[in-house]
Amino acid sequence: MLHRISIRFCSLAAAVVLALAATSPAQAETNAQLVQKMELMQQQMQQMQAQLNDLKQQLAKQTSPQEAQTAPAASPVVAAPRAALVVTAAPTPAPEAQPASGVTVTNKNNIRLTLGGYAEAAGIWRMRNETADIGSNWNTGMPLPISPNYHMTEFRGSARQSRLSLLAQGSPDATTDLSAYFEGDFLGAAPTANSAESNSYNPRLRQAFAALDKKDDDFHLVAGQAWSLITLNKKGIAARGENVPLTIDAQYVPGFTWTRQPQLRFVKGFDSDKVTAGLSLESPQALLGGGPNTPAGTPTFTNPGGSGFASTSNYSTDVAPDIVAKLALDPGWGHYELYGLARFFRDRHSKENSTITGGGIGGGMILPLIEKKLEFQLSGLAGSGVGRYGSAQLPDVTFRPDGSLAAIREVEALAGLVGHPTDDWDLYLYGGTERSQREAFTSGLLGFGYGSPLYNNSGCDTEGAAAATCVANTSSSSQVAIGAWWKFYHGNYGLMQTGIENSYTRRNTFSGIGGAPHTDEDVVMMSLRYYPF
């Protein structure tokens, strides 16, 4: 419209100039006629000026005060005059940061969309062949001498940990923030996935949740799949603020307590967030351990996946959500947490349903030994039926001789040092362990439960022995991991870094007939990552 009015204005001015230029003494109009025409043209110009003023007021009303305040004065903008999206550059993330950074896109309603993620090329070498990708198995996947794989090394290349994320954020008013976060990688392995030629693997959901933050009440709500509330945070209790080990290995370190699962989480802050309390109802799943002997009562504890699940996997017969309650303290130096976990396990035996409970108590801390240079962390969980929450994936429950369930007692612990000698380097050292106690029973001459001394381990140290001669329930999995990340480029075009990691893990088993066999695993991993956002 502005363009059309400008054309009309210029045409009118040109007409006036031409009319004056064409006037000769012989053809001149009277002064009265000329004045009359000029007055008419002046009225038309005043009308067009009024239209311009009205249009400016309409445009000003379409731009809200909030949009005017948030529009960056000197940030790089890629947009046409009528564009609905504004793209700005944001800081690059740390190796395992939950990327609220990246490329930010803002639409006309001030909904900010932030892209994140990285592309990775990784190399993997293992002393024992696990036939595993970037995520190692710290339990039964570590072969004992009975297996030919114990005597063979393993090398693999992988790009499947490459990750994509999207964060959407909006603020309907000054005290309310809304957000949605999606994150995935390519570590899914459907029955058709293979490395034969095309190396085709399906995407995998890591996180997908919505969040509501009320700043005036210091109240926060998270709904969807996210890191469990049981996971150690860096500060307070905030989604996307978890303290995840910097390892290249996607299974992290034994002793690291975590899951990523659907949940409904409520968080309340107090005293300017020096104290934060949270409660989370989380999706259950249980791991079963035991031996070769079949309990009475034909128990049903797991079933192959039905609609929407993988038919090649087993799913436990869950009855209620896991419940996690956490208290976090940030007094000014360090971060401290204390939490409790309640779980419920169900099976059906002898034509009756049976439910037992489990749970534990845990906590953690992060201490800045040298501000922004060196930090120490310590975390742990102790209880019964808590194996699912550890990286080694030790079992939660086992069967009694009558087919009922018994929760297995376990302790998980992780200590770590993380250093940042310069802006270009991140160094880490972790030591962790997960340990189960026997939950063994006897019926007649047969052993039942987990870690029974009547289980046969006589063939575990003999390559090619019969599988029935090596039950070998895991009693502990312990590891030391050391690694470094070098950010050799970080600037306007993102971040590129390379990392190397070496871990040593030992798996011990409960003693049985023939002894208590053990195995170990030495793993070296290398990574090159580019964070373009």
What pLDDT, on a 0 to 100 scale, did the predictor assign at position 464? 95
**Residue 39, in any domain of the structure:** no
Does the pLDDT of residue 9 top 70, yes or no?
A: no
* pLDDT of 77: 33
| Signed CA dihedral, 36, 38, 41, 43: sign only | negative
Section 302-321 average pLDDT: 93
Contact 106, 85 (CB under 8 A): yes
Please, which pLDDT band fits residue 2 given cuts at 50, 70 and 90? very low
pLDDT digits (tens, 9 = 90+) for 206-221: 999 999 999 999 999 9
Question: Is the separation of the CB atoms in 256 and 245 below 8 Å?
Answer: yes
| Six-digit token string for 80 | 């046409």
Q: Assess if residue 174 is contained within a domain.
A: yes
Residue 488 DSSP class: E
As a whole number of angstroms, the distance between CA 212 and CA 219 comes to 8
Average pLDDT, the chain: 87
Q: Please tell me whether the overall predicted TM-score, pTM, comes out greater than 0.75 for this model.
A: yes
Confidence bin at 53 (pLDDT 50/70/90): low
The distance of Cα 109 from the centroid of its chain, to the nearest Å, equals 27
For 93, the enclosing helix (H) or strand (E) is: none
CA distance 170 to 53: 33
User: Structurally, how many domains does the chain consist of?
Assistant: 1
Alpha carbon separation from 137 to 173, 223, 253, 285 (Å, rounded): 47, 30, 10, 19
pLDDT at 346 over 60: yes
DSSP state of 513: B
Beta-ladder partners of 328: 276, 337
Cβ distance 232 to 324 under 8 Å? no
Per-residue model confidence (pLDDT) at position 88: 46
327 vs 141, 224, 244, 276, 340, CA distance in Å?
35, 21, 19, 6, 9
- Paired strand residues for 182: 166, 208
pLDDT of residue 71: 37
Tell me the CATH number at 434: 2.40.160.10
pLDDT confidence bin for 56, thresholds 50/70/90: low
For the stretch 13-45, pLDDT in tens is 444 334 434 444 444 444 455 556 566 666 766
Query: Looking at the domain assignment, is residue 369 inside a domain?
Result: yes
Cβ atoms of 476 and 138 within 8 Å: the answer is no
Are 181 and 162 within 8 A, CB to CB? no
* Structure tokens that stand for 421 in this block: 């000698």
62 in a structural domain:
no
The answer to whether position 401 is within a domain reads yes
pLDDT digits (tens, 9 = 90+) for 355-379: 999 999 999 999 999 999 999 999 9
User: What is d(CA 224, CA 18) in angstroms, rounded to the nearest whole number?
Assistant: 72
pLDDT in tens, 390-410: 999 999 999 999 999 999 999
How far is the first Cα of the chain from the last one, in angstroms, to the nearest whole number? 39
Q: Using CA atoms, how far apart are residues 128 and 107, in angstroms rounded to an integer? A: 52
256 located within any domain: yes
Domain limits at 455?
88-531
Q: Give domain status of residue 175, yes or no.
A: yes
Q: Is residue 68, in this structure, part of any structural domain at all?
A: no
Tokens standing for 94?
A: 């740390």
